[in-house]
């Protein structure tokens, strides 16, 4: 063990004094030496044309700033009344090509895990022989690596059938 000197408990005082700003260098003023007014005085003053600029922090007169033109606030313009127009929806918004690209293309275009490729009549023929209802049931449940509905969870049975017919008819 090291012997404890008599000064040891006070060895931290210079560090505390430096941290607290108590230890000052020669010629340095402490905050306590300044008046409260000096401590709270703004560092600059803005003077507009036609006003006196007295009381700057340095005691020197401050030159007046050039006047700045301020644009008049424009009066609000009344917007014309717009009557709503009712448009009949032509279809259900199903985009066959975009849906194929989003959900079917990745596996069917490459034949991944045995997925029949678009336009490959030989691969699609035994599947299509099962009929519409069976094809839709397979698509809803998924087959082999194909997830249910091919991940198109918003697709209806009619849309799934359209997708199958689209893939059969595509050219390679």
- DSSP string for 18-42: HHHT-S--TTPPPGGGS-HHHHHS-
* Assigned domain for 27 exists: no
Q: 87 pLDDT exceeds 50?
A: no
Q: 28 pLDDT exceeds 60?
A: no
CA–CA gap between residue 93 and residue 34 (Å, rounded): 76
Q: 46 pLDDT exceeds 60?
A: yes
pLDDT tens digit string along 91-104?
Answer: 568 899 999 999 99
Long-range contacts of 90-98 (CB under 8 A, 24+ apart): 94/159, 94/162, 96/159, 96/162, 96/163, 96/166, 97/166
100 and 162 fall within a common domain: yes
The label of the residue with tokens 């560090």 reads: 15
> What pLDDT is recorded for position 45?
66
DSSP state of 4: P
> What pLDDT is recorded for position 171?
75
Containing structural domain, residue 38: 32-65
154 and 108 fall within a common domain: yes
Residue 11 — pLDDT band, cuts 50, 70, 90? low
* Assigned domain for 8 exists: no
Q: 88 pLDDT exceeds 60?
A: no
Do the Cβ atoms of 31 and 46 come closer than 8 Å? no
* Assigned domain for 158 exists: yes
Residue 90 — pLDDT band, cuts 50, 70, 90? very low
Residue 135 — pLDDT band, cuts 50, 70, 90? very high
* Assigned domain for 2 exists: no
60 and 118 fall within a common domain: no
């Amino acid at each position: 063990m090291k012997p404890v000197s008599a000064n040891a408990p006070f060895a931290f005082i210079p560090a505390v004094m430096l941290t607290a700003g108590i230890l000052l260098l020669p010629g340095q003023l402490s905050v306590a030496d300044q008046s409260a007014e000096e401590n709270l005085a703004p560092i600059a003053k803005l003077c507009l044309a036609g006003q006196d600029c007295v009381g700057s922090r340095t005691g020197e007169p401050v030159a007046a700033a050039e006047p700045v033109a301020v644009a008049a606030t424009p009066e609000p313009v009344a917007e014309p009344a717009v009557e709503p127009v009712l448009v009949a929806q032509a279809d259900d918004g199903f985009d066959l090509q975009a849906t194929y690209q989003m959900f079917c293309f990745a596996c069917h275009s490459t034949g991944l895990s045995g997925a029949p490729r678009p336009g490959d009549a030989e691969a699609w023929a035994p599947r299509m022989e099962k009929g519409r209802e069976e094809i839709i049931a397979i698509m809803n449940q998924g087959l082999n690596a194909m997830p249910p509905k091919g991940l198109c969870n918003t697709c209806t049975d009619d849309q799934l059938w359209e997708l199958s017919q689209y893939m059969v008819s595509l050219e390679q």
